[in-house]
Structure 1
Amino acid sequence: MSKITKSIYRVLFINQGKLYELYARGIYQGEIYGFIEVEELLFGERSSVLVNPAEERLQNEFSGVRRTFVPLHYIVRIDEVEREGVSKIRPVEGCDNVTPFPQPVLPPSGGRSKD
């Protein structure tokens, strides 16, 4: 018998000026245009003696969330990893005084209709 393992993905994205690092079992091109769908978020076991406050904050922020949609232009990186790591929030380095303005994602035709 072969053991079937589900893939684990590390997703890095920017949210409110901070870099979020989450682990999930499912990453898909969302049904909503311009969004990546992240589902089955993974967090460390609560039964451990040591509690990581950053991971607990993320777990509280995403409690009750089955899947989340992240804008494509805020995704920094998606990696398939062998095992789950520690989810965390970090400040974005080098962008202390600049806030990125969201750019609309245009279809390949440049947003023009073919009329």
Structure 2
Amino acid sequence: MAKTLYKITFLNAGKIYELYARKVGAGTLWGFTEVSELVFDMHDGLVIDPTEERLRDEFGDTRVLHLPMQCIVRIEEVEKKGQSAIRDATTGEKVVTPFPLPAKPR
């Protein structure tokens, strides 16, 4: 039997984050929702999606994410994992962090 998978959409620092997790529940902290067992695509070597890589860097070591209820936009139970994303809260467009450019030689 496949484990339940949730898509969590929430606001953070003026951006909309979309993450996937196996567990979501009422938190022990009043007013917070606990999100745990975050799910990321695992790729060896080549980076396929820089947004997924950025989310893994930010939340990869997180055991439990305590989200204030007022920042949660939606929690969906889904069949399969889609693409995690970071979007601009006003336009809804994906926020893509460009790769750093080499510094100009002096």
Q: Which has the larger radius of gyration?
A: 1
Query: Judging changes above 3 Å, is the alpha-carbon distance between structure 1 residues 15 and 57 closer, same or farther for their aligned structure 2 residues?
Result: same
Could you tell me which residue of structure 1 aligns to residue 7 of structure 2?
10
Partner of 2:66: 69
Matched, 1:47 2:19: no
> Counterparts of 1:22-61 in structure 2 under 5 Å?
22-47=19-44, 49=46, 51-61=48-58
Deviation at 1:63, TM superposition (A): 2.1
Q: Given the two structures, how large is their TM-score scaled by the length of structure 1? A: 0.75
Q: How many residues align?
A: 91
Could you tell me which amino acid in structure 2 is paired with residue 42 of structure 1? V
Counterpart of 2:78 in structure 1 is 81
**Runs of at least 4 residues of structure 1 off by over 2 A?**
47-50
Q: Normalized against structure 2, the TM-score is what?
A: 0.81
Percent identical among aligned pairs is: 44
Q: CA deviation at 1:46?
A: 1.4
Name whichever of 39-48 and 8-17 sits farther off.
39-48
Over the aligned positions, Cα root-mean-square deviation in angstroms equals 1.4
Unaligned runs of 5+ residues in structure 1 are: 95-115
Aligned AA (1:51): I
